[in-house]
Amino acid sequence: MKNHAVHQKEKENFLKLAAHLPHPKRELFARIFEAFLETEEHVSLEDFQKILREKGLSVTKEELKEALELFCRLGFAQRKEFIGQPPVYEHRHLGEHHDHLICTRCGRIQEFYLPKLEALQEEIARQYGFKSLDHRLEIYGLCAQCQATRAKPALPLTLVSAGEKVRVERFLGGSQALARLAAMGLTVGEELEVINNCGPIIVSVRGARLAIGQGLAHKILVSPLD
């Protein structure tokens, strides 16, 4: 009931602020706005267009982009850009703030709010004589669901996300592959940090960077470090 009242107030506010638009466009954007209010997740342009289509509203990407940009300008929405993902849009509720956990494997975005963390950031700003107006905190990693699906003794290095630290458990392949790995200085028990997993796998080992091709990296079985 509370959400319905809030949404109704937001719609009335939007119609007032969008009064300058030509009537047909205002009506179209109002329908898009109503669908946006009903969407509780972070949505990309493509995802939102699909949602609208399922609701029986067909709009072009240009029309949808124009509408979302208007929502942002009027303070009803925020455009967010997270690493490795297309831009997404979320509600902007007056007087509310939250930060984000972003899964680098499935792309799931989870909102969180921690008063102690907010207070600590304000304290840091005060210590430096800084007037804080806004901030954004993004934590990248693996969500609980993705961790659960990977709960195995060992997995190929190619499946490890950038930023993860792992331990080498064993090697697959013939003598030639093993010789190449030995020449690189990789041994069982070695601890690695994956720097980049796009193209050649770049890892940090003993303070140095190594580039490992996808084929060879798939033969290196590792386990995540806690």
Q: Which residue has the higher pLDDT, 78 or 178?
A: 78
Distance CA 187, CA 192 (A): 11
Q: Do residues 73 and 7 both lie within one domain?
A: yes
Known binding residue 106? Answer is: yes
Are 155 and 170 spatial neighbours (Cβ–Cβ below 8 Å)?
no
Quote the mean pLDDT of the chain. Answer: 87
pTM of the model: 0.62
The pLDDT tens digits of the residues spanning 2-46 come to: 466 777 888 889 999 998 999 999 999 999 999 999 988 899 999
What range defines the domain where residue 20 resides?
A: 2-94
Q: Do residues 90 and 52 both lie within one domain?
A: yes
Distance CA 48, CA 13 (A): 22
Are 130 and 151 spatial neighbours (Cβ–Cβ below 8 Å)?
no
Known binding residue 99? Answer is: yes
How many domains is the chain built from? 3
Q: What is the CATH number of the domain that holds 33?
A: 1.10.10.10
Known binding residue 72? Answer is: no
Q: What is the CATH number of the domain that holds 113?
A: 3.30.1490.190
pLDDT band of residue 120 (cuts 50, 70, 90) is very high
Q: Do residues 66 and 113 both lie within one domain?
A: no
Q: How many CB atoms within 10 Å of residue 29?
A: 23
Q: Do residues 85 and 14 both lie within one domain?
A: yes
pLDDT band of residue 1 (cuts 50, 70, 90) is very low
Helix residue ranges, H only, 106-171? 115-127, 144-149
Distance CA 185, CA 127 (A): 46
Helix residue ranges, H only, 109-223? 115-127, 144-149, 175-184, 214-217
Known binding residue 135? Answer is: yes
Helix residue ranges, H only, the chain? 2-17, 23-38, 45-54, 61-73, 115-127, 144-149, 175-184, 214-217
Q: Region 73-95: what's the mean pLDDT?
A: 87
Q: Do residues 81 and 130 both lie within one domain?
A: no
Known binding residue 146? Answer is: yes
Known binding residue 134? Answer is: no
Known binding residue 198? Answer is: no
The pLDDT tens digits of the residues spanning 42-74 come to: 999 999 999 999 999 999 999 999 999 999 999
